[in-house]
């Protein structure tokens, strides 16, 4: 639908609140009043499934001497309707690192593998299928 309207889509949260940057481990815990509780990303069942996906992304990233975060950025940019990606950064070095994702070149096989991983993770198949159709 986005392409049909000749507009671009700009995804937000492309690094999954830092999960794809290697910031969190499986035993990560946070304070009860932490804002991330409201995101849903860190809910007990989803967090474990997300970390499984991160592990699989890490294996693909190793194939191309990259990182899961770079893969996420490149995967999103490979979608025809995605015009740009918002990759949050708190420090200047993170901005430089995110820009380096442009040096990663994914094969069709790797893109397909990442598609499969996202389908495994997203519980709302409708939303994920809409993203894959961009």
Q: Quick one: pLDDT at residue 122?
A: 63
Output the 3-class SS for the chain: CCCCCCCCECCCCCCHHHHHHCCCCCCCCCCCCCHHHHHCCCCHHHHHHHHHHHHHHHHHHHHCCCCHHHHHHHHHHHCCCECCCCCCCCCHHHHHHHHHHHHCCCCHHHHHHHHHHHHHHCCCHHHHHHHHCC
Q: Quick one: pLDDT at residue 99?
A: 85
- Mean pLDDT, each 10-residue run in order, the chain (134 residues): 72 77 83 82 80 90 89 88 82 84 90 85 49 51
Q: Quick one: pLDDT at residue 124?
A: 43
Question: pLDDT tens digit string along 11-32?
Answer: 777 777 778 877 788 888 888 8
Q: Quick one: pLDDT at residue 87?
A: 81
């Amino acid at each position: 639908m986005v392409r049909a309207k000749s507009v671009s889509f700009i995804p937000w949260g492309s690094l999954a609140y830092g999960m794809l940057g290697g910031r969190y481990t499986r035993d990560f815990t946070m304070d009860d009043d932490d804002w991330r509780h409201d995101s849903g990303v860190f809910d007990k069942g989803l967090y474990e499934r997300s970390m499984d996906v991160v592990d699989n992304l890490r294996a693909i990233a190793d194939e191309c001497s990259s990182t899961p975060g770079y893969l996420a950025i490149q995967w999103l940019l490979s979608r025809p309707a995605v015009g740009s990606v918002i990759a949050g950064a708190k420090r200047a070095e993170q901005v430089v690192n995110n820009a380096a994702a442009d040096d990663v070149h994914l094969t069709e096989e790797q893109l397909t593998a990442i598609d499969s991983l996202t389908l495994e993770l997203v519980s709302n198949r409708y939303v994920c299928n809409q993203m894959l159709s961009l």
